[in-house]
């Protein structure tokens, strides 16, 4: 489903005109289409149906509780990378057994909470969300383990709390995903996973540990991965490891291929999802028929094109070198352009011309080259640079597309701007699913001062 379309010159989210949302919720605001999220989830599920792959939604991509809940209702498990995300997934309605806990720096506190709900990190939120007693919730379904040191921690805490959690070893396959260096995660110089040539010995060593049960492998090579082949290379590394363990009499039950499945940011810039499935399914079909369970951890491929950032132009400044269109959204609302030089198509919400192709250089007349920037005191604060846009004026609304993943989740209140509101549209209904962050929320943690050191005189006494 196309979540965002122009009707009679006005951009709509499903059946709701975006100017109405801007009027009611203010700007900048993230707007999501529930229909598009459902369609994105089903598309991936269908593509990998021959493997009966289970999808665990990558909460980090867009963590709003209501979005997580929508995905839970569709049947997704959750993929979390911190104790905070784990609590969020659980509050959104996920069973602990359906949560995969990844993350390279898990603390003892987070591991305890994943093993036993009595150590829940968000017990105070339970009443607000009407969740069940966390003490009853049990142990997380699966850990993705990144190092031997982490194996030791989980095992120690597992024994201490009388539980033996299931876990996959995250393998670093040393594969180049051809994505930005900051989101490349499967090369040997990256901090993630365990070198492939050490995995078999490690797996064997820990295979009958009383505090942790190893059940398989996890891999995540980067995000987004714009080519099919790196996945095939990674799968081949993993199937070789599975075979090496089989020779030693150890059977691998679970293979988690992670996320990184692409989303189209610019028309035709990546192969369709189905092309990824077509290449990967034949590599694993026989194994899944023999009982191997395949998991995926998608975020971006479902959410990116299911959300836009709605921003209002505050000023237009025509300088000698450049025209600056200054919006209320910027790097504090959507950091991807500043951080990765990522491309996001942006266009006026009110537009009576032909539907523009979502590309860097739309071939239309009377466009003006401008920098789309935010209010933040950084030259790196931009949403787009040297971008042809229809002439814009103060007060106009602009939609920044493909912003549904890693938009809100990476937003900050830098320069003391509150984080944006979030609105979920389903058909003709629009709901605020997160209020704009008030300044009081940002100041709250600073309003009480606690003395950590005693005065000298007191110390001597």
| Catalytic machinery residues | 377
Which residues sit opposite 370 in a β-bridge?
Answer: 387
Judged by the rule CB under 6 A, the positions of this chain that interact with ligand PLP are 58, 61, 79, 102, 220, 223-224, 258-261, 297-301, 405
Which is closer to ligand PLP, CB of 61 or CB of 399? 61
Give the position of tokens 């935010």: 374
Write down the least CB distance from residue 102 to ligand PLP, Å.
4
Which is closer to ligand PLP, CB of 102 or CB of 408? 102
Pairwise CA distance, residues 224 & 232, whole Å: 15
Nearest to 424 by CA among 9, 5, 48, 16: 16
**Read out DSSP for 326-345?**
EES-STTT--HHHHH-----
Token duo for residue 375: 């209010």
Write down the least CB distance from residue 74 to ligand PLP, Å.
16
Token duo for residue 373: 């920037």
Pairwise CA distance, residues 89 & 112, whole Å: 16
Pairwise CA distance, residues 424 & 59, whole Å: 16
Write down the least CB distance from residue 304 to ligand PLP, Å.
8
Write down the least CB distance from residue 70 to ligand PLP, Å.
16
Pairwise CA distance, residues 17 & 5, whole Å: 10
Which is closer to ligand PLP, CB of 57 or CB of 206? 57
Can you list the alpha helix ranges (DSSP code H) found in 207-299? 229-247, 273-289
Give the Å distances, CA to CA, from 196 to 104, 199, 235, 258, 455: 17, 5, 12, 16, 54
Write down the least CB distance from residue 57 to ligand PLP, Å.
9
**Residue of this chain nearest to ligand PLP (CB atom):** 259
Nearest to 33 by CA among 13, 19, 18: 13
Which is closer to ligand PLP, CB of 314 or CB of 409? 409
First to last CA, the chain: 72
Write down the least CB distance from residue 260 to ligand PLP, Å.
4
The answer for residues whose C-beta is within 8 angstroms of residue 45's C-beta and 6 or more apart is 53, 55
Which is closer to ligand PLP, CB of 5 or CB of 107? 107
Residue 127's CB is within 10 A of a number of other CB atoms, namely: 8
Residue 330's CB is within 10 A of a number of other CB atoms, namely: 26
Q: By the 8 A CB rule, do 107 and 82 touch?
A: no
Pairing of strands 10-13, 4-7: antiparallel
Write down the least CB distance from residue 61 to ligand PLP, Å.
4
Which is closer to ligand PLP, CB of 9 or CB of 272? 272
Pairwise CA distance, residues 130 & 124, whole Å: 11
Which residues sit opposite 142 in a β-bridge?
Answer: 100
Residue 58's CB is within 10 A of a number of other CB atoms, namely: 34
Which is closer to ligand PLP, CB of 191 or CB of 205? 191
Residue 27's CB is within 10 A of a number of other CB atoms, namely: 23
Which is closer to ligand PLP, CB of 61 or CB of 64? 61
Write down the least CB distance from residue 58 to ligand PLP, Å.
3
Write down the least CB distance from residue 297 to ligand PLP, Å.
4
Which is closer to ligand PLP, CB of 155 or CB of 223? 223
Pairwise CA distance, residues 427 & 303, whole Å: 17
Pairwise CA distance, residues 206 & 212, whole Å: 8
Pairwise CA distance, residues 120 & 112, whole Å: 8
């Amino acid at each position: 489903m196309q979540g965002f379309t122009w009707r009679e010159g006005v951009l709509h989210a499903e059946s709701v005109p975006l100017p109405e949302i801007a009027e009611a919720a203010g700007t900048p605001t993230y707007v999501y289409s529930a229909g598009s999220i459902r369609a994105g989830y089903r598309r991936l599920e269908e593509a990998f149906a021959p493997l009966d792959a289970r999808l665990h939604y990558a909460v980090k991509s867009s963590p709003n509780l209501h979005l997580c809940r929508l995905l839970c209702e569709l049947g997704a498990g959750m993929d979390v990378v911190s104790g905070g995300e784990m609590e969020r997934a659980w509050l959104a309605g996920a069973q602990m057994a359906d949560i995969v806990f990844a993350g390279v720096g898990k603390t003892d506190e987070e591991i305890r909470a994943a093993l036993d709900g009595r150590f829940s990190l968000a017990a105070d939120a339970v009443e607000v969300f009407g969740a069940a007693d966390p003490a009853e919730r049990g142990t997380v379904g699966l850990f993705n383990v990144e190092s031997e040191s982490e194996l030791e921690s989980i095992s120690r805490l597992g024994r201490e709390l009388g539980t033996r959690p299931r876990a996959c070893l995250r393998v670093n396959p040393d594969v180049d995903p051809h994505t930005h260096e900051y989101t490349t995660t499967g090369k040997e110089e990256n901090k993630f996973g365990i070198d492939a040539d050490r995995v078999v010995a490690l797996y064997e060593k820990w295979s009958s540990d009383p505090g942790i049960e190893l059940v398989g492998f996890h891999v995540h090579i980067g995000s987004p991965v714009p080519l099919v082949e790196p996945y095939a290379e990674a799968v081949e590394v993993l199937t070789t490891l599975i075979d090496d363990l089989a020779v030693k009499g150890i059977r691998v039950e679970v293979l988690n291929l992670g996320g990184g499945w692409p989303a189209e940011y610019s028309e035709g810039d990546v192969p369709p999802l189905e092309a990824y499935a077509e290449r990967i399914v034949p590599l694993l079909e026989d194994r899944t028929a023999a009982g191997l369970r395949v998991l995926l951890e998608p975020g971006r491929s479902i959410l990116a094109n299911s959300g836009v950032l709605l921003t209002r132009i505050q000023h237009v400044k025509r300088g000698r070198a450049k025209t600056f269109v200054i919006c209320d959204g910027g790097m504090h609302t959507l950091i991807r352009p500043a951080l990765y030089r990522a491309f996001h198509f942006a266009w006026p919400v009110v537009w009576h011309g032909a539907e523009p192709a979502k590309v860097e250089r739309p071939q239309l007349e009377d466009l003006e080259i401008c920098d789309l920037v935010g209010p933040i005191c950084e030259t790196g604060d931009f949403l787009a640079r040297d971008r042809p846009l229809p002439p814009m004026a103060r007060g106009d609304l602009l939609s920044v597309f493909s912003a549904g993943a890693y938009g809100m989740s990476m937003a900050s209140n830098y320069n003391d701007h509150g984080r944006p509101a979030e609105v979920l549209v389903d058909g003709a209904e629009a709901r605020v699913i997160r209020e704009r962050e008030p300044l009081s929320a940002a100041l709250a943690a600073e309003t009480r001062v606690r003395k950590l050191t005693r005065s000298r005189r007191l110390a001597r006494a």
